Amino acid sequence: MSTRRPHIGVLSLQGDVREHARVLTDLGADVELVRRPAELAAIDGLVIPGGESSVIDKLSRAFGMREPVRDAIAAGMPMYGTCAGLILLADRITDGIEGQQTFGGLDVTVQRNAFGSQVDSFETDLDVPVLGDPAVHAVFIRAPLVLESAEGVETLASLEDGRVVAVRQGALLGTSFHPEVTGEHRFHELFLESVRAVR
């Protein structure tokens, strides 16, 4: 097994890029801000940050990144999407703006802004068995929800009412919430484990 540090990209078209870069650096990864296909080709895994999914979609096409990201997913590159990043990794979305596209890869249907506007943001503690104790303190900001998951998609966390807010399928991981803003590193550690397994 390679002993070099994982080389992780953060898609840097829009959103909370710096927060993810800081967490990944703290966990020992070499971090690159990715805006172009050549940068994507040089990394071991990609984080797609929270932000505005429709804006990231448009910019990914403007920068020639949509097809390279889709190709990387198809080739098995591990990716982790938070909030807007989860929307972009979903195969299907509801409430998208006209013409909105995703990268796909996660066989789920995701609802954008499922909890309402910015003023409806909230925090809660989640039981995430794959991470063990303690509970994950999760921050939801204009967050999406996973409405439907295909067989083979693992539910990692749900709200008390059963609505799904974290999923994993193969090397793809998605959360509705923002671990990077609360000092919660365990989802990023889970992502880095998948990167090391693929490498």
- Please count the residues of the chain: 199
CA distance 56 to 69: 12
19, 178, 184, 188: the active-site residue = 178
Q: Is 160 a catalytic residue?
A: no
Asked if residue 1 belongs to a domain, the reply is no
For residue 162, tell me if it sits in a domain.
yes
Report if residue 110 sits inside a domain: yes
- Per-residue pLDDT at 1: 46
The answer as to whether 46 is a domain residue is yes
How many structural domains are present in the chain? Answer: 1
| Residue 136, domain member (yes or no) | yes
pLDDT at 2: 54
Catalytic: which of 180, 184, 185, 189? 180
pLDDT in tens, the chain (199 residues): 456 899 999 999 999 999 999 999 999 999 999 999 999 999 999 999 999 999 999 999 999 999 999 999 999 999 999 999 999 999 999 988 899 999 999 999 999 989 877 767 899 999 999 999 999 999 999 999 999 999 999 999 999 999 999 999 999 999 999 999 999 999 999 999 999 998 7
* Residue 137 burial (10 A CB sphere; 0-12, 13-18, 19+): middle
Instruction: Output the domain CATH number for residue 84.
Output: 3.40.50.880
Residue 68 falls within a domain, yes or no?
Answer: yes
Q: Which residues form the domain of 125?
A: 7-198
Q: pTM of the predicted model, to two decimals?
A: 0.95
Is 137 annotated as catalytic?
no
In a domain, 165, yes or no: yes
The active-site residue, picked from 20, 32, 83, 188, is 83
Q: Is 20 a catalytic residue?
A: no
Q: Does residue 2 form part of some domain? A: no
Cα diameter, the chain? 47
